[in-house]
């Protein structure tokens, strides 16, 4: 299972993302990313260049709602050379897949599924509806799925279990993974990866120190 450290808080890239990545890049971190809002394009380019130089897989998560803003995020992912494009409103999934297909070296695309509302983004809909959306998304040709499981107002464990069983593409669980217990739950459920951003900034992991020590603790739990 992969841990993706998001340089974000409240669904916005933190202003000190460049310095923070430099601080944590030698922790053994394999995957990192940020949101499509909160950082100017020149700094995003430098951040993703630094990730590549450090041998870290890069992820850009699109959290903007309007179609024009969504595709601005997609274009940013192409511009900065993100390895993975994750998130994006489900209504734009098919169009995004068509848009990326002819591009040179496009990022792998892991869209949201279900009903996405608000900012920070929340997941709504029945488990059955979200599972059907997962199947549809796989059929459209998405490389994987980004599931806002811990921002769901229903049975989170059952949701992850049923979505994972319904698809044959990788599953990222995003949003509010803020405890070792949740990491263990995700490992037991066999998800491909999970993201943590704000919980690291808020030092939610007991017995750990600053961001570097928090990340090391999460990496240890992920590997254990």
Which pLDDT score is estimated for 207? 66
In terms of residue numbers, what domain contains 42?
Answer: 2-223
Q: Is the pTM of this model over 0.85?
A: yes
Q: How many domains does one find in the chain? A: 1
Burial class (CB in 10 A: 0-12, 13-18, 19+), 139: exposed
Nearest to 90 by CA among 120, 117, 68, 72: 117
What pLDDT, in 10s, does the model give residues 92-132?
999 999 999 999 999 999 999 999 988 888 899 999 999 99
Q: What are the beta bridge partners of residue 44?
A: none
The mean pLDDT value for 161-183 works out to 94
What pLDDT, in 10s, does the model give residues 150-162?
998 889 999 999 9
Which pLDDT score is estimated for 208? 65
Q: Are 122 and 151 in contact (CB under 8 A)?
A: yes
Q: Which letter, b or e, does each residue of 7-39 get, where b requires 16 or more Cβ atoms within 10 Å of its Cβ?
A: bbbebbbbeebbebbeebbebebbbbbbbbbbb
Which pLDDT score is estimated for 30? 97
Q: How many other C-beta atoms lie within 10 A of the C-beta of residue 130?
A: 25
Task: Tell me the CATH number at 27.
Answer: 3.20.20.70
The mean pLDDT value for 44-60 works out to 98
């Amino acid at each position: 299972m992969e841990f993706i450290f998001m340089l974000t808080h409240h669904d916005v890239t933190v202003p000190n993302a460049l310095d923070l990545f430099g601080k944590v890049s030698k922790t053994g971190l394999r995957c990192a990313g940020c949101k499509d809002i909160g950082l100017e394009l020149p700094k995003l380019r430098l951040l993703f260049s630094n990730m590549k130089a450090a041998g870290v897989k890069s992820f850009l998560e699109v959290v903007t709602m309007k179609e024009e803003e969504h595709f601005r995020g997609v274009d940013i992912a192409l511009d900065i050379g993100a390895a993975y494009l994750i998130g994006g409103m489900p209504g734009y999934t098919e169009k995004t897949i068509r848009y990326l297909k002819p591009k040179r070296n496009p990022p792998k695309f892991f869209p949201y599924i279900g009903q996405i509302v608000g900012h920070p983004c929340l997941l709504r809909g029945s488990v059955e509806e979200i599972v059907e959306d997962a199947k549809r998304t796989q059929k459209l040709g998405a490389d994987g799925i980004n599931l806002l499981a811990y921002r769901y107002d229903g049975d989170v464990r059952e949701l992850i279990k049923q979505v994972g069983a319904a698809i044959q593409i990788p599953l990222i669980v995003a949003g509010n993974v803020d405890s070792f217990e949740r990491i263990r739950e995700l490992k037991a459920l066999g998800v491909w990866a999970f993201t943590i951003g704000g919980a690291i900034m808020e030092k939610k992991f007991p017995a750990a120190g600053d961001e570097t020590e928090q990340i090391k603790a999460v990496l240890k739990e992920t590997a254990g």
